[in-house]
Structure 1
Amino acid sequence: MTQPPASVVIVSRGRAEALKRCLIGVSQLQYDPFEVVVVADPAGIAAMQGVPCAGHVKQVPFDEANISSARNLGVTHAAGEIIVFIDDDAVPEPQWLLHLLAPFDHPEVAATGGFVRGRNGISFQWKARGVGPLGDAFDLDVNAEQATILHPAQGQAIKTEGTNMAFRRDVLVDLGGFDPAFHYFLDETDLNMRLAQAGHATALVPLAEVHHGFAENALRRADRVPRDLFDIGASWAVFQRKHVPSALHADQWKRLKEDERKRVLRHMVRGSLEPQDVGRLMRRLNEGYAEGSVRAIGGASLPRHPAAGFQRFPARGRPSIVIPSRPIRFAKDYQNAVDMVKKGDIVTVMSLSPSAMFHKVLFTKDGVWLQKGGLFGRSDRNAPLFRLTSRSRRLEKERSRVARQRGLREDC
């Protein structure tokens, strides 16, 4: 079956180095046809010129602190039938698009969302979630091996994460895209609610994985400690005005403020914030809520036809390869992997030490998928703390764990 043409939209501001790494990951996608649209600030546009694939990317300058407006600009320039979003501090698995876009074979599906792994490359940040009438997210139980098409209950929605989601372009246009009133936070949740209200189905796709780094920005540090809560307060005010009955606003805001205060206090107890930071952050939260209560709301007017034609990104045809390694020969194996990546291969280095160390997975700046850990250590965090095994069996187990996401051949 012919695969639908897709546009991968990446919004970047203040994270030029993260953007470069994201683009290297995107260049390894095993899918055809797709194009890449980068909406970035001047530093991001300048930095990406050093990435080999930059000449194949639609580059759209934008330097405002408004992720919804930036995404809408990406939609304007995207010519794919399906529009896919990934954050600049994330990296997709090579088979990401293949899995994420497969459910669009079903006409009822208007959106899809995948799973998101965290910084250690093993644990999940987000899996399957729904959205309640008040904007609260809750876990959903879906099949971990295949896509699940979901129709939300009345007043609810299916949650797609901003760093791993896809939509039919015509549906985005009909809905007015992302509401620019959401400068940051709740932007995709609002769109999820409007999708549900319009009667559209969403498919959640566990095997469509991205690795998300939580890089720092103007609103949070790299360790996820908040720098400013203004936009969170503003977005909650906008969300309430659009989706929550007015009689419930005051009580909900009281609960939300208390939750944010507890979060800030936890950071203070850990030593990540000073006592005076608590008062400042809470003041900013309230100031944002007040501003969001009067902010203009409503979707954008998006063009039915894209600003430019489809700019096909070169497809990755080479196989995905695993190089078994161990600490004593890691430097040599890693350099071999780097050389292979430069030739166009997709390479995973699995370096297992004779220990019970927990495993970590990293996509390096050189474009190598790197997994390190102990021969007897956990990769699945729910597995036993120690499990006796041979090196060959453990390597095969780890290879099988990522085979469908990374495009590894079954006969290798």
Structure 2
Amino acid sequence: MTLPVSVVVVSRGRRDSLVLTLVGLSRLFYPNYEIVVVADAEGLEAVKLARMSDEVKTVAFADPNIAEARNRGIAVAAGEVIAFIDDDAIPEPTWLNNLVAPFADPQVSAVGGFVRGRNGISFQWKAHSVDHTGRATPLQIDETRSTVLTPPAGQAIKTEGTNMAFRRDVLAGIGGFDPAYRFYLDETDLNMRLAKARRVTAIAPLAEVHHAFAPSARRLASRAPKDLFEIGASLACYLRRHCPEPERASVVERFCRERNDALIEHMVAGRLEPGDVRRLRQRLRDGIRAGETRSLTPLPALPHSKAPFLPFASRVKDRGTVVAGRVFACKRLRALARRKAKEGHSVSLFLFSPTALFHRVRMTRDGVWEQSGGLWGKSARTEPWFALTGFQRRLKREKTRVAAVRGIPN
């Protein structure tokens, strides 16, 4: 019997991006899940645009506080496991199957997955631990299977906010997320509290999502920041919660130096003006001062959901369908892929051009996974710039690369 899972999505100011996230969530292979959307008016409109109003639990919430929004989602989530994904991320169809599997071990309370970046191929995030300063350190693990990890004393296993899951009773029992963190370090604080309670975390590498870093009130499409106040405030709150007082000043200074270096890089690249850099430096310092006096209160246990579990009927009835061809036939191939997706197939479309262009992967609004690039170009960025090969050999290589997470049969 599969565990019932609640998938919580928080959204604010990203209607179009959320529609794509919902398309991805509507095409999961997992047989027993519900979807909870906590969103502002734009996000609630996205649920209507995705034609999912009667199939999804919604919670109206417009405040710029992702921790509190996640707690609102937990309050109505009725699954035994609660998974989280951001509104600018798309899950692979096997995402929940792989993310939930480690909970078969009764010791496991939390699971994190891997995150691919904007091009749909390179990884943004794999496995990390995190310490009392909030600094994350990469971990070497077997990337073909789930691994239960035990961090050293004073550290935790880091789960990334856009791809993580928790046992509901454990998560609710420790008070969920701390609203003192408006959007930064909220899941890291949770990881540390779980570690202090000696709860066990697993990393599931094959539980993959694609994360686009969509623009928001806090950052531009270029990923340059628009404001650093809440980052500073959250850092100060985190240090007050987890870092010995004698170390805090040095941690803050190191953090400010690193942020300043990043701002200079953005300025050199033309993404920020010198005046922006000065303003953002000051906003960071102002935020740190605000966080040093922000109220930090005990977190009461969250209540059980009064709403019953609302199982979502996945749009996918048949797994692992592949459509492939040359880019000059893209119009016909895309139409074929759309038709198959509408019929309930999980479709991967491969379009190759006679070039060495880099490959990219995206989910379309029709629910098709589309990969495009040169027949001789690289997909993984560690590959050679040019590799002479034939169409069928290249297709086999790309199918093999994604087979485990896409459900494509060998």
Q: TM-score, normalised by structure 1?
A: 0.97
Query: What residue in structure 2 maps to residue 232 of structure 1?
Result: 231
Residues 132-171 of structure 1 aligned to structure 2 (within 5 Å):
132-171=131-170
Q: Distance in 2 between matches of 1:251 and 1:305?
A: 41
Change (3 A) 1:362 1:397: same
Q: Deviations over 1:73-126 (max 9, x none)?
A: 000000000000000000000000000100000011100000000000010001
Is the partner of 1:144 in helix, strand or coil?
coil
Q: Distance in 2 between matches of 1:276 and 1:252?
A: 26
Q: Distance in 2 between matches of 1:265 and 1:299?
A: 39
Amino acid at match of 1:391: F
Amino acid at match of 1:397: R
Q: Distance in 2 between matches of 1:245 and 1:403?
A: 46
Between stretches 372-381 and 296-305, larger displacement belongs to 296-305
Kept in 1, the 8 Å contact 2:9–2:86? The answer is yes
Residues 341-360 of structure 1 aligned to structure 2 (within 5 Å):
341-360=341-360
Query: What residue in structure 2 maps to residue 335 of structure 1?
Result: 335
Amino acid at match of 1:385: W
Query: How much does 1:374 deviate?
Result: 1.2
Query: What residue in structure 1 maps to residue 396 of structure 2?
Result: 396
Kept in 2, the 8 Å contact 1:178–1:299? The answer is no
Q: TM-score, normalised by structure 2?
A: 0.98
Is the partner of 1:371 in helix, strand or coil?
strand
Query: What residue in structure 2 maps to residue 367 of structure 1?
Result: 367
Amino acid at match of 1:270: A
Query: What residue in structure 2 maps to residue 307 of structure 1?
Result: 306
Query: How much does 1:348 deviate?
Result: 1.1
Query: What residue in structure 2 maps to residue 43 of structure 1?
Result: 42
Change (3 A) 1:160 1:134: same
Gaps of at least 5 residues in structure 1 are: none
Query: How much does 1:65 deviate?
Result: 0.3
Q: Would you say 1:288 and 2:287 are equivalent positions?
A: yes
Change (3 A) 1:99 1:299: farther
Q: Distance in 1 between matches of 2:133 and 2:22?
A: 36
Query: What residue in structure 2 maps to residue 377 of structure 1?
Result: 377
Query: How much does 1:299 deviate?
Result: 5.4
Amino acid at match of 1:311: L
Kept in 1, the 8 Å contact 2:354–2:375? The answer is yes
Query: What residue in structure 1 maps to residue 58 of structure 2?
Result: 59
Amino acid at match of 2:215: E
Is the partner of 1:55 in helix, strand or coil?
coil
Query: What residue in structure 1 maps to residue 114 of structure 2?
Result: 115
State the aligned residue count.
409
Query: How much does 1:307 deviate?
Result: 2.5
Is the partner of 2:300 in helix, strand or coil?
coil
Q: Distance in 1 between matches of 2:22 and 2:260?
A: 37
Query: What residue in structure 1 maps to residue 267 of structure 2?
Result: 268
Kept in 2, the 8 Å contact 1:180–1:298? The answer is no
Query: What residue in structure 2 maps to residue 13 of structure 1?
Result: 12
Kept in 1, the 8 Å contact 2:359–2:374? The answer is yes
Q: Distance in 2 between matches of 1:385 and 1:310?
A: 49
Between stretches 43-52 and 25-34, larger displacement belongs to 43-52
Query: How much does 1:302 deviate?
Result: 4.1
